[in-house]
A and B are shown apart, each in its own frame.
Chain A
Amino acid sequence: DIVMTQTPLSLPVTLGQSASISCTSSQSLVTSDGRTFLSWFHQRPGQPPRLLIYKVSYRLSGVPDRFSGSGAGTDFTLRISRVEAEDVGLYYCMQASQVPWTFGQGTKVEVK
């Protein structure tokens, strides 16, 4: 199984500043046809996760453009520019390039 490792596990942020979360996979997420399936989710306390980014950098309709994804191969990044109060919570990366689809352990974003 592909292991997804997120850093940091805890990220104190200042409102209005930017924040970045890293996600590293134990093997390349590039499939045989050259595609890469890496997603990012946000989960607020007591709520289900919500999809933000898929296929590394595609933002789901309705997701604010302050969220962006990048990366390739085994190293991926979620960036939040101009962090807002509603952005606190847990962030998970997930790979869907190989079954079983696997998640990172989560990064907790909180306001300093």
Chain B
Amino acid sequence: EVQLVESGGGLVQPGGSLRLSCAASGFLFSSTWMGWVRQPPGRGLEWVANIKTDGSRTYYLDSVKGRFTFSRDNAKNSVYLQMDSLRVEDTAVYYCVRHGDYTFDYWGQGTLVTVSS
């Protein structure tokens, strides 16, 4: 059974940092692209970032480029999202997602990030 378990969310002040983690199981992690999608409270979905199987390529939403860093550790079946210089508008539930055939075929339960003073 595919499982994606996020952790690391919480309350942070504007300008602060958080590191999200996602532990994956139930599939061949090292052969799978991974991603993050976020959802502000009461609003729609927004793709944030993708990472290639070996971590050699990453893609980011323009509004997070230079502030967020997506990485992975295939030995630990985990991905990480380092979020720096956080803004109020980054407040959202962040979902770890598995890439399927040009889609997101599995989603974690999400972790809430709140940026507020």
Query: Which residues of A are interface residues toward B (Cβ below 8 A)?
Result: 35, 37, 39, 41, 48-51, 54-55, 58, 60, 92, 94, 96-97, 99-106
Contacts and interface: CB of A to CB of B under 8 A. Distances in A.
A92 B102 contact: no
B89 interface: no
A102 B44 contact: no
B101 A101 contact: no
A48 B44 contact: no
B101 A55 contact: yes
A96 to B, nearest CB: 4
A99 B101 CA distance: 15
Nearest to A39: B103
Contact of B102 (A49, A54, A102, A104): A54
Interface residues of B, number: 19
Contacts of A106: 44-45
A96 B62 CA distance: 16
B103 A102 contact: no
29 contacts: A35-B102, A37-B103, A39-B102, A41-B45, A48-B95, A48-B107, A48-B109, A48-B110, A49-B45, A49-B95, A54-B100, A54-B101, A54-B105, A55-B101, A55-B102, A55-B103, A60-B100, A92-B44, A92-B45, A94-B45, A96-B102, A100-B47, A100-B59, A100-B61, A101-B47, A103-B45, A104-B44, A106-B44, A106-B45
Given A39-B102, A94-B104, 13 more contacts: A35-B102, A39-B103, A41-B45, A48-B110, A49-B45, A49-B107, A54-B103, A55-B102, A58-B101, A94-B103, A100-B47, A100-B59, A104-B44
- Which 4 interchain pairs have the tightest Cβ spacing? A37-B102, A48-B107, A54-B103, A96-B102
